[in-house]
Structure 1
């Protein structure tokens, strides 16, 4: 069995799919790409190949470097019935290239994804659903099920217990469906459980408890109900689409190489934001990408609205001035209308957060997401009252630096003494 699962804390739960299976050849880095391609090319057509992690319609991503499996590799994956591709929009990749196997579509595993996909759900449910999916699939494979048998079991409508599971599971796909109704149609028409039945489902289920024990013990999620409005979105100052200006200046990251000093960052994090201009925050945020903390710590940063929401939990404030300054710093880098004028962000979470800040009343639903040449992320939306069809974000710096370094530096401690 060949497994390609690039290292990333946010997809660690997927290890449960293959960890206890025999004869696993694991590849976890883009730096092994030549070995990966050689191994797949030499593998018999019936050998299981598992491609897991983050991705887009163009392929499987190593968030530290770029596409580890791209469209040019599709021919190597053809006629492989034991192919498993679990990443966002893997089914689009499979459809575009005529691949057989088991695929996920858009799979909500983060709160910002739920927001963009219009699914009302708690952080607990998201963590539980993703972990349960991986544990359940792994258990089926360890029991001797073939990929096809495991896929059909995973796509059974009996697992639909909420809007979240309906969304994720209706987008699972195998190259063949049962006769009669399609799997997607059966799942979309499946009745939801009552609140009592849902509590019974999540409560005693040993897989769920195992998932929580293994993957949630170190995850401190934010109670988003405090400081969020009825739409589930926090008030974010006076920002709107009209905040996007014509006068912007593209980011030269080298310009800010020495700009993020510990003292200045401490003033920003523990102060009120007073005295900081948009240019000051540009210098801090883009300079932050040259620090060890940026490359060694991936869960969040001081330029993540979720981090600020957590800070505000102990106050009566619903919004921090720093969040608006961060957004305006991003808006100062482009207009988001073309790949050439994309907004410069330091991580993907800033893309979703900026969209919800600019269009807070009816944040458009995400229709498609594509990674273009040069680390440009294109987000296309369903029809929306704002008339916005797509936005472009430059996330190349995240790919350029990656997430991990050899020293495994901890997150900086900038807590007030």
Structure 2
């Protein structure tokens, strides 16, 4: 698709699909916004009769700059969604169907693509949130479409602030730093979830993709963890085991193989035998909290919340015992679970460069090194954002080398 700021005829942003046909509703939204100078907000209002709070849509006046920004950011989102949908097998995930998609997709655009992939500043992210809220509120207000809660996740607020600074935080975690984080968890479940990010490259929600029993996915029967435990017992010299992460758990619907090392799989086996509650849940990783979630599969944001808690604990340890932890890298409070995955990807990228005897600065999106890294992480290699992703890993390799020098030389 393409977006055009047509100042001559329409006097607002218009969006065309690949056949140069206007994408109707976004075009109508921009006409409404620009010609009326209005935007729709969703606000909480107290009912004086009941003292209860109700939510309602309200039109507010906005200036020319705000009109332009809303049109631009909606267009950027639609471009991203078109690109995102090309790698998915989901029949309803299309540009034409964007008005009916759940808020998960808008929030993925904001919290993964803008925050983590392109490292957008706080201003850019806030403008995107405001623009998508305005567009989808307009759809709800005038077309009775379900309200969508679109927002920046709380765990990303510090990160977008750091993205705005001239000196970005170091987003690569050395292997020793990751081990320190794992060592400061309170249970086998917590350690496994963090290791899944740092050793397997899982996103936080992909922790829901581990099953105890064999399961059907992507056209065939896949091995569950019980089968892998048996395979490990039958093959005492085998050091790596394949697990199929199903497309319905992976971003972009990109199924992929996870290569679990023997020590990691042994940890999973210990969790199953010693800690996992007796439950009918088909998920392998389940909650042991003494509340209404006991015995149910962990939530999508479990990894994110866990990482935040462990990071805070480790930062405090380092601050209170500087001599004991003198050899460790500094940990910024803006780090997140995603940086475990990012560190894993950086290691894969760096090691592939070493194996191919190539400088990481020379890698392009056509390189076998990049394609293999993308495969291991479930990235798309034909995305319009591939170059940006490659740059992120090249930059991270530089950070990796600098951190290793600092640890070695003090």
Same topology, TM > 0.5: no
| TM-score of the pair, normalised by structure 2 | 0.29
Question: Which entry has the higher C-alpha Rg, 1 or 2?
Answer: 2
| TM-score of the pair, normalised by structure 1 | 0.28
